[in-house]
């Protein structure tokens, strides 16, 4: 009797999951395990001290896993938790697992963890698929090594030749479940702090709620705001953990366009999904160099690491009240708008002259929508070592405040107070 193991990682869903469909059709019995793959190996790519993820990240993860566990339990299955390769190997051996399905991983650490696992359990069929992208690898009009160095080149290539495949439903039949000696996900993530109103929804509710409003028709005009109701789609946390697939968003967008009409704004939602797509394939191409100081460029930025400035940025204690308010928003909610991220990242690199990788690593542990490709790709871009033909972005903080928080409401809401820099610099020399 064939026993399958479905390893959930960044694809926490049952619907629109071809890999799961195929495994369900193939196996007589099945085990479901969630494992935080990027936490299974040591983050050897940077000097940043290993940190636990924030409370918001844990809560959002727990909330999503509970939804998935509920769905599986309606099919008579448990969702187990494993946080080490050893536990996975033990279960695979104990239950004589013959087939393992796991989504392709584009992050370096994630792929290392996967490689480690495959090396320890030989003779097993591994089923892989890119389960979090709009396009399948085979659809791309270029080899991964030839992924274009700029977004506009990528967009032109895919827009002229690739179509998004339609979504699929949930598997019609689930094989018999297998009891395992592992903790249940719901027991691991049970101490959850409440999420903000939008992020306390399920992926499906958020998708329906956004597309039953008129917000998509105004997206291009509102997307740069710092906060507000439906100023952007707010889908990123579910897209990042895969409880929502990019194709599900695309399909809901098409349905909206048919119902309410297409315009520049609705196209722009697709345009942003293409940015996400681009960063995914670019990360796969870059591999380990996604985390290298020089990034894709040939010159190292003129930045370094200054503990004092870094701490000030993390805790929202810089000289810049807007940056402080934004960092407080991140620290309390686990989320920040795209414009906010651009502002704080630009300040990190340009005003504070800090090594971009430390900012990216901070985001990694604090964003509920952390995604290795989008996060490190965007940080590289702002730092001028990524896919930016203009060589980096420097946002004028006074101008950004005037444009995006003219009445100071955002700054006030998140307690952004300017804190004067220390009298001495990082080497102990007087500053003035």
Ligand X SMILES: Cc1cc2nc3c(=O)[nH]c(=O)nc-3n(C[C@H](O)[C@H](O)[C@H](O)COP(=O)(O)OP(=O)(O)OC[C@H]3O[C@@H](n4cnc5c(N)ncnc54)[C@H](O)[C@@H]3O)c2cc1C
| Interface segment toward ligand X; rule CB under 6 A; list 121-129, 131-139, 340-348, 405-413 | 340-348
| Interface with ligand X (CB under 6 A), residue from 9, 248, 331, 337 | 337
Q: Of 87, 257, 272, 321, which lies in the binding site for ligand X, with binding defined by CB under 6 A?
A: 272
- Please, which residue, 40 or 273, has the CB nearer to ligand X? 273
Strand partners, 34: 8, 81
Q: Which of 91, 97, 367, 397 binds ligand X (CB under 6 A)?
A: 367
Greatest alpha-carbon span in the chain: 76
Q: Is 345 in the site for ligand X (CB under 6 A)?
A: yes
Shortest Cβ 302–ligand X spacing (Å)? 19
**Matching residue, tokens 């085979």:** 138
Question: 118 in helix, strand or coil?
Answer: helix
90 vs 365 by CB, closer to ligand X:
365
- Please say whether the beta carbons of 279 and 292 come within 8 A: no
For residue 3, what are the β-bridge partners? 29
| Sign, Cα dihedral of 192, 198, 201, 207 | negative
Interface residue with ligand X, options 276, 309, 357, 366 (CB under 6 A): 276
Return the residue of 382, 387, 397, 411 that touches ligand X, per CB under 6 A: 382
Run of H or E residues at 210: helix 203-211
With 0-12 CB in 10 A as exposed, 13-18 as middle and 19+ as buried, what is 26? middle
CB of 277 to ligand X, least distance (A): 8
| Comparison of 3 and 318: residue with beta carbon closer to ligand X | 318
Assess 374 for contact with ligand X (CB under 6 A): yes
Token pair of 311, please? Answer: 């701490």
CA–CA separation, 323 and 318 (whole Å): 7
Among 338, 413, 418, 419, binds ligand X (CB under 6 A): 338
Task: Say which residue the tokens 């339609």 belong to.
Answer: 166
Helix (H, G, I), strand (E, B) or coil at 100: strand
Size of the site for ligand X (CB under 6 A): 29
**Residue 267: CB minimum distance to ligand X, A:** 12
Select the residue interacting with ligand X from 105, 109, 317, 378 (CB under 6 A). Answer: 378
Residue 400 Cβ, how far from ligand X at the closest point, in Å? 13
Using CB under 6 A as the binding rule, whether residue 279 contacts ligand X is answered as yes
User: Judged by CB, which is closer to ligand X: 117, or 383?
Assistant: 383
> At 3, is the secondary structure helix, strand, or coil?
strand
Residue of 218, 248, 213, 212 lying closest to 231 (CA atoms):
218
Instruction: Give dist(CA 326, CA 226) in Å, integer.
Output: 9
26 token code pair: 């193939």
Binding to ligand X by CB under 6 A, coded x per residue (else -) over 177-216, reads ----------------------------------------
- Asked if 358 interacts with ligand X (CB under 6 A), we say no
Stretch that binds ligand X, among 16-24, 38-46, 162-170, 362-370 (CB under 6 A): 362-370
Distance between first and last Cα of the chain: 76
Binding residues among 390-429 for ligand X as defined by CB under 6 A: none
Applying CB under 6 A, does 239 fall inside the site for ligand X?
Answer: yes
The rounded distance, in Å, linking the Cα atoms of 253 and 52 is 36
Q: Given the complex with ligand X, which of 25 and 221 has the nearer CB atom?
A: 221
- Helix runs in 236-306, H state only: 236-241, 246-260, 264-286
Contact call for residue 234 and ligand X (CB under 6 A): yes
Q: Is residue 240 part of the contact set for ligand X (CB under 6 A)?
A: yes
Cβ atoms of 406 and 373 closer than 8 Å: no
**What's the chain's length in residues?**
432
- According to the binding rule CB under 6 A, does residue 375 interact with ligand X? yes
> What tokens appear for 364 in the block?
């990694």
- Answer whether 67's CB lies under 8 Å from 243's CB: yes
Choose between 164 and 240: whose C-beta lies nearer to ligand X: 240
Rounded-to-integer distance, Cα 403 and Cα 383, Å? 22
How near is the Cβ of 427 to ligand X at its closest, in Å? 28
Which of these ranges, 29-37, 123-131, 192-200, 231-239, lies near ligand X under the rule CB under 6 A? Answer: 231-239
Between 22 and 223, CB nearer to ligand X: 223
257 vs 217: CA distance, rounded Å: 9
Asked whether position 236 contacts ligand X by CB under 6 A, the answer is yes
Closest separation in Å from C-beta 100 to ligand X:
27
Q: Which residues bind ligand X (CB under 6 A)?
A: 223, 232-236, 239-240, 269, 272-273, 275-276, 279, 337-338, 341-342, 345, 363, 367, 369-371, 374-375, 378-379, 382
């Amino acid at each position: 009797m064939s026993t399958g193991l479905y390893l959930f990682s960044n694809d926490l869903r049952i619907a629109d999951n071809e890999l799961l469909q195929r495994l369900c059709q193939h196996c007589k019995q099945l085990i479901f395990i969630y494992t935080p793959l990027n936490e299974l190996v040591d983050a050897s790519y940077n000097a940043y001290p290993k940190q636990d993820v924030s409370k918001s990240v844990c809560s959002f993860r727990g909330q999503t896993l509970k939804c998935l566990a509920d769905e599986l339990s309606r099919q008579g299955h448990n969702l187990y938790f494993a946080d080490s390769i050893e536990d996975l190997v033990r279960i695979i051996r104990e239950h004589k697992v013959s087939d393992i399905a796991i989504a392709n991983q584009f992050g370096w650490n994630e792929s290392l963890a996967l490689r480690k696992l495959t090396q320890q359990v030989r003779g097993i069929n591994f089923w892989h698929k890119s389960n979090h992208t709009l396009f399948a690898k085979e659809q791309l009009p270029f080899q991964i090594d030839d992924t274009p160095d700029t977004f506009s080149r990528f967009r032109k290539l895919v827009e002229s030749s690739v179509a998004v495949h339609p979504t699929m439903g949930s598997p019609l039949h689930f094989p018999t479940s297998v009891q395992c000696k592992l903790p249940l996900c719901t027991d691991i993530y049970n101490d959850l702090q409440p999420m903000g109103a939008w992020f306390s929804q399920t992926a499906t509710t958020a998708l329906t709620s956004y597309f039953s409003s008129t917000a998509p028709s105004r997206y291009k005009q509102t997307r740069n705001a710092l906060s507000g109701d439906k100023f952007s789609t707010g889908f990123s946390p579910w897209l990042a953990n895969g409880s929502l697939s990019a194709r599900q968003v695309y399909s809901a967008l098409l349905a909206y366009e048919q119902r309410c009409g297409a315009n520049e704004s609705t196209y722009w939602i697709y345009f942003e999904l293409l940015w996400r797509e681009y960063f995914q394939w670019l990360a796969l191409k870059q591999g380990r160099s996604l985390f290298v100081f020089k990034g894709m460029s040939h010159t190292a930025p003129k930045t370094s690491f200054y503990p004092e400035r870094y701490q000030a940025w993390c805790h929202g204690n810089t000289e810049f009240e807007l940056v402080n308010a934004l960092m407080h928003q991140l620290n309390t909610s686990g989320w920040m708008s795209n414009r906010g991220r651009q502002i704080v990242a630009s300040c990190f690199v340009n005003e504070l002259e800090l090594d971009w990788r430390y900012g990216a690593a901070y985001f990694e542990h604090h964003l509920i929508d952390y995604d290795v490709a989008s996060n490190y790709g965007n940080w590289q871009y702002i730092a001028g070592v990524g896919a930016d033909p203009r060589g980096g972005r420097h946002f004028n903080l006074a101008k950004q405040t005037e444009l995006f928080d003219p009445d100071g409401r955002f700054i006030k809401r998140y307690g952004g107070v300017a804190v004067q820099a220390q009298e001495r610099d990082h080497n102990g020399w007087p500053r003035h």
